[in-house]
Amino acid sequence: MENKDNLNSLIEILKGAERVVILTGAGISAESGVPTFRGQDGLWKTYRAEDLATPTAFSHNPQLVWEWYDWRRGLICSKEPNSGHKVIARWEKFFPSFHLITQNIDGLHQKAGSKKVFELHGNIWKIRCTEEDTVMENHDTPLREIPPKCPECGALLRPHVVWFGESLESSVLHNAFYLSANCQVIFVVGTSAVVQPAASLPLTAAEAGAKIVEVNPTSTPLTAYANFSFRGGAGEILPLIDEKLRLISSD
Ligand code: APR
């Protein structure tokens, strides 16, 4: 098997790359102390997604669902971006066209300074009125009231995140597939690459001739399709690549 972790040949490709996309998952926030979903201490090992992250669960027991999201907000609010997040924020200015597509709802990319972020699964710091569909930012930890009510109409508020069985926001999804189909390199960092439609983005990019660069401590269903696959944490591998890139750009 050709070695897929050849940093020098990746740098050669990145030298000429203008349009770069990066797709991230829970793994990029693991080194910041945010639990992943399917990893060893992953959330879905402890909690049942069907009880907490579906529209049915919310209609049955909004109190329980909100208690869980309040706990997660409490966990995330004290976390800081790690060196992986910071490199990605820097690359926004390094590559002529660089876009970040994330499955994460933790907001750590924005906290690291990333501006051009497509959030496929929503954001845990946003809440939405179930009646009027208005979206508002809320950083209260803990929430003042569980379940929270809409300040305008008094209806139940829900987390502005995408639950299992729900469709993604069409404009975000459209942009994500458009950017993936038009990039030259797509980095895939910290995702188990099993959840759709996100898991199809790298394959869409490859079909259009782009190189797939995977960063993950373990192999995933995507590894077989990847041109490069680096075994290690995002906080370790991305700074390594960045260091080499800076060297060539200072030449
Ligand atoms: N750096 C990079 N990758 C890591 C690290 C790290 N430090 N630590 C763990 N990983 C990898 C794991 O090996 C795993 O492949 O991150 C991946 C995390 O996978 P999941 O927990 O399945 O998370 P993700 O792929 O983002 O899940 C997709 O599923 O539950 C839903 O909506 C939720 O957005 C989420 C979606």
Comparing 45 with 200, the larger pLDDT belongs to: 200
- Before 197, cis peptide (omega within 30)? yes
For residue 215, pLDDT beyond 50: yes
Check: CB of residue 63 under 8 Å from CB of residue 146: yes
Q: Of 235 and 249, which is predicted with more confidence?
A: 235
CA–centroid distance, residue 127 to ligand 1 (Å): 23
Phi-psi region of 247 (alpha: psi -120 to 50; beta: other; left: phi over 0): alpha
- Determine the atom of ligand 1 nearest the C-alpha atom of 105: 34
List CB contacts of 232: < 8 A, sequence separation 6 or more.
Answer: 215, 217
* Pocket mutation for ligand 1, best pick of 76, 166, 192, 230 (most atoms within 8 Å of C-beta): 192
Q: Please, how many CA atoms are within 13 Å of residue 218, restricted to the half-sphere of its CB?
A: 9
221 Cα distance to chain centroid: 18
User: How much is the pLDDT for 249?
Assistant: 77
Find the mean pLDDT for residues 207-217.
Answer: 98
Please give the average per-residue pLDDT across 189-211, as a whole number.
Answer: 98
Question: Taking CB atoms and a 6 Å cutoff, what residues make up the pocket around ligand 1?
Answer: 25-28, 30-31, 36-39, 42, 103, 121, 189-192, 195, 215-218, 220, 233-234
Residue nearest ligand 1's atom 35 by CA: 103
Per-residue pLDDT band for 82 (boundaries 50, 70, 90) equals very high
- Return the exposure string of 49-82: e unless at least 16 CB atoms fall within 10 Å of the residue's CB, then b: eeebbbeebbeeebeebbbbbbebbeebeebebb
CA 177 to chain centre: 15
Q: Which residues contact 93 (CB under 8 A, 6 or more apart)?
A: none
30 against 249, higher pLDDT = 30
pLDDT at 172: 98
- Is residue 29's pLDDT more than 70? yes
DSSP label of 104: -
Q: Which residues of 180-190 are buried (b: 16+ CB within 10 A; e: fewer)?
A: beebbbbbbbb
Helix then strand then coil, in percent of the chain rounded to 5, is 40, 20, 40
Candidate list 85, 121, 139, 160, residue with the active-site label = 121
Q: What is the percent of the chain where pLDDT is above 90?
A: 88
pLDDT at position 36:
86
* Global confidence as pTM: 0.96
Q: pLDDT per residue over 136-145, tens digit each? A: 999 999 999 9
Give CA 35 to chain center in angstroms: 13
Q: Residue 1 pLDDT more than 50?
A: no
Higher per-residue pLDDT: 237 or 48: 237
Nearest CA to ligand 1 atom 4: 27
60 carries an active-site annotation: no
Across residues 74-94, what is the average pLDDT? 97
Per-residue pLDDT tens digits for 129-185: 999 999 999 999 999 999 999 999 999 999 999 999 999 999 999 999 999 999 999
